[in-house]
Amino acid sequence: MDLIHYLRQSLEDTYLSKTEKNTLKSILGNQTLDPERANSVRAKIIELANEKVNEKNFRLVMQWMKDTNTLLQTASPQSRVYFSPGEDCKNAIIQQMNLSRRHLEICVFTISDDDIAHAILAAHGKGVSVRIITDNEKSCDRGSDIRRLAAAGISVKIDVSDNHMHHKFMIADGRSLITGSYNWTVSAARFNHENILLTTEEGVIASYSGGFDQLWKEMVDYR
């Protein structure tokens, strides 16, 4: 059953019954709601409520909106975990890049997987603001994609210390964070036992965003 159609139907009597709640749980349980899709459904809930609300049913419609959003929140996990070897980690990274609309903040030890580099270039090409922080030594490795990413006009900064800039995280549009042991290399997907965590938890994202901004101030422009 179509989710939006059922939401509209459940609002007809301005009351979300127990049966309707269970049906919505079932519908939501059969769908994969990434952050973008979940936000789209939230916007539709608000739109439907605005269409229905009047002075007499205001409280009932507001309660319907609260109940449906609670069900949506329950069905939209804030975190997912992926493992390699295999394509799951790489695909999750690329998916978040493809979903980005405003900015990508990338802070990773190395980038040498061409599939990931292509996704970064594609995001940059559609107007997404991309900033990359990476390790100075790894940027010189054979197969590193840093040179061509910078040549495409993407802002890149590196450390200048004797130690490694060993972070591996990315923030997309301030709405999702990917972090974990996974190196952005072909070997990580094909051979290594690695992991990433994808989360939309706002407090965690805010902490990483602050860390990225601090590193951006400390690092130097890649040349």
Enter the DSSP assignment of 79: E
Given the residues 168, 213, 217, 221, the one annotated as active site: 168
Please tell me the distance from the alpha carbon of residue 188 to that of residue 90, in angstroms, as a whole number. 9
Please tell me the distance from the alpha carbon of residue 117 to that of residue 184, in angstroms, as a whole number. 9
DSSP line for 148-216: HHHHTT-EEEE--SSS----EEEEETTTEEEEES--BSHHHHHT--EEEEEE--HHHHHHHHHHHHHHH
Active site residue 166: yes
Q: How far is CA 84 from CA 19, 68, 181, 216, in A?
A: 41, 36, 10, 29
Q: Are 194 and 180 in contact (CB under 8 A)?
A: yes
Token pair listed for 190: 């094909």
Given the residues 5, 166, 193, 213, the one annotated as active site: 166
**Residue type for 46, please?**
I
Given the residues 173, 193, 213, 221, the one annotated as active site: 173
Please return the burial class of 88, using the count of CB atoms within 10 Å of its CB with bins 0-12, 13-18 and 19+.
middle
Catalytic (active-site) positions: 166, 168, 173
